[in-house]
A and B are shown apart, each in its own frame.
Chain A
Amino acid sequence: MARTSERFPGVEWIGDTGVFIKIDEKKCTGCGNCLKVCLGGCFEIENKLARIRSLDECMECASCWYVCGEEAIDFSWPPGGTGYRSDWG
């Protein structure tokens, strides 16, 4: 069930997290701040707006939520027992 990533060793992602970060297209201005602070590369710009590329390497730090001045990012935690985990934090 657990996924790992070559780019980020020592970390596992468990189960099905579903889409726990959502972008409100109406509010997004396409500034790209979320891309700049997301070390997991979860975002991309398409048609001048941010969208979720993949949450596969998300470490649930919420940096995207903090830097979105337009409140276009709706951040919630994935369901209990799913998502990022590590023995080395």
Chain B
Amino acid sequence: MQQEYDVVVIGAGFGGPVAAKKCAGAGLKTLLLERSENPGEKVVSGLTIPIYGFLFGPPFIRDGNPPVERPVDGIRNYVIYDVKAGDIEIVEMRIPRPLSPIFAFGYNAYCKPFCTWEAEQAVNAGAELRTCTTVIDFIKEDGYIKGVVTDNGETIRSRIVINSEGSQGILAVKAGVRDKYPPQAISLADTYDYDCPKEVIDRVFGHTLRFCWGFDELKIAPPLGHGNGLMSWPYRNSIHWMQDQCLAMGDGYVPNLRRLFDEYHENITTQLPWWRDEIAPSAKLRARMWEGFEIFVGLDDRLRNMPNYTDGMILVGDTAGLESTGLCDGVPTAWFSADIAADVAIEAIRAMDFSAKFLERYNRRIKAHTIIQWAITNKGRWNLRKAQESHDRKELRARINHQFGPGILTHAGTPLVKSLLHAIRKDPLVIMKWARMFPRYYYNWEHECSSGDRRPIDKQKKRSSGIGWVLFDSLVILFSPVNWAAAWLLEPLAGVVNPLIKVFLPAVELGLGVSIRMEPLFSPVTRWMIDSVKQADPSTFSVSK
């Protein structure tokens, strides 16, 4: 039986539902196809979704109520020179109290509930979701992709296909749009999930991720620059633990990851003092799984510039090679690209032009997207291998600081400030939405921790009447012409932010260090902020649609 849609979206992972929701919301007949039974249950991830994904990504996520496992305030890096002798240095980059944990650096989440929530939003907007369906091929006519063929033998016609099938891009390779990635560009992530009481996680991690790095011969983490070392994420009452390494080294040698991963895992969990003494006694292994991701695709000119569209099809997220080479996050770029893809699909349907020539505008917008381009061209992690080559402690520390410590501001400053100004220029009232997002996410998280219930806010669409918010909103509205003008004037100048931070980095580091040390002084304020959010009427954080 043949079926017809305006848009078929392949994959209900992180990106697909965003595209499906926007297309359906624009009145297009949209079908979202997913091979697993429930969205997200075949997706393996970290997972901290960095804050820029929420601030500058799809409005329904920013203004919504997705299931998060813990707000995160930053990263604490353990730079390990000699684990047995306890020769370990700490490099920390986090938002200090009392701003955090309400003003977060990102949010941790499990893939299944998050992707399911996203897919529900797409369905609520009118998209049709079909799970347990693997797309095995495309319908091709006159060189155009005109729909998909599924493993049930169905042929589904569509005007345009948005392909969000994930990092392997099997269909994109099969269709001849992209090449299979070389194993040097792919990192295999060996992931463990530990059950651990919330009190222990609160005490040991708080809201901070813990990453570990060491010279290769220590075998406490995957080789520097060929993966991510070791990363651990505090969730609500579990810890996610991930080590990953490229499938092949620079010279093409394929290491025996099966053996090495077991060895690294054993070494670090038995030798690293805080894990061994504070976590291991109360943590119980709940799951182990693995997945690959295209860690270094963005750093290779040929791979980065492979087509992300063809006649009748647009590729988004991991399928378009948009995994960040710096922080190893791919969710924000999947969201941004899915959002852009939906815009282009809507425009193509209006113009009734699905040619590659028309869809080229998608590529142009991806290339012009400040955060996507920063994320996929950042060499900080790749360059860690230079610290291994020199075997110099100072260099290792400096490179970790540059990529995962306060030094990140010397390259993330401009893209972040530029995106912030751009968003304000487009809509000065977005500030009201940002201001509500943080307490809403925090409230939801606290609520779910204490009651175990799913978040109640979605049901409460009432507009806030809280006097503080009325005042705040009035100021934002009053100053919106000024904010718009300031953003318009300053956006072209955002390029100076990185060099400025570079000059003042020692001062920034000092300021950050001092404010972290002074946190105990602020505990009453922190407590007050948290209590005010916890006890607030949740409808005060909702955004009217």
Taking the nearest CB of chain B, how far is it from the CB of A73, in angstroms?
A: 10
Q: Is the C-beta of A11 less than 8 angstroms from some C-beta in chain B?
A: yes
Give the dominant DSSP class at B's interface: loop
For residue A83, which residue of chain B has the nearest CB? B42
- B288 near A61 with CB under 8 A, answer no
- A62 near B258 with CB under 8 A, answer no
> How far is it, in angstroms, between the C-alpha of A37 and the C-alpha of B188 when the chains are bound?
8
- B151 near A79 with CB under 8 A, answer yes
- B42 near A88 with CB under 8 A, answer no
Chain A interface residue count: which class? 35 or more
- With a CB–CB cut-off of 8 A, which chain B residues contact A41? 258
Taking the nearest CB of chain B, how far is it from the CB of A13, in angstroms?
A: 11
- A10 near B288 with CB under 8 A, answer yes
> How far is it, in angstroms, between the C-alpha of A38 and the C-alpha of B186 when the chains are bound?
14
- A88 near B110 with CB under 8 A, answer yes
- With a CB–CB cut-off of 8 A, which chain A residues contact B289? 8, 10-11, 59, 84, 86, 88-89
Within 8 A of A (CB), among B1-57: 35-38, 40-45
Q: How many chain-B residues does the 8 Å CB contact rule pick out?
A: 50
- A77 near B170 with CB under 8 A, answer yes
- With a CB–CB cut-off of 8 A, which chain A residues contact B258? 35-39, 41
Within 8 A of B (CB), among A46-89: 59-63, 65-67, 69, 75-81, 83-89
- A80 near B133 with CB under 8 A, answer yes
- A37 near B257 with CB under 8 A, answer yes
For residue B133, which residue of chain A has the nearest CB? A80
- A89 near B248 with CB under 8 A, answer no
With a 10 A CB-CB cut-off, give which of A9, A14, A78 has the most chain B CB atoms: A9
Known: A10-B288, A80-B132. 13 other contacts (CB 8 A): A9-B287, A10-B287, A37-B257, A38-B258, A59-B44, A61-B188, A63-B257, A76-B170, A78-B134, A81-B132, A86-B112, A88-B193, A88-B238
Q: Which residues of B contact A (CB under 8 A)?
A: 35-38, 40-45, 110-112, 131-134, 136, 150-152, 168, 170, 180-183, 186, 188, 190-191, 193, 238, 247-248, 252, 254-258, 261, 285-292
6 CB-based A-B contacts, threshold 8 Å = A35-B258, A39-B188, A39-B258, A63-B247, A85-B41, A89-B289
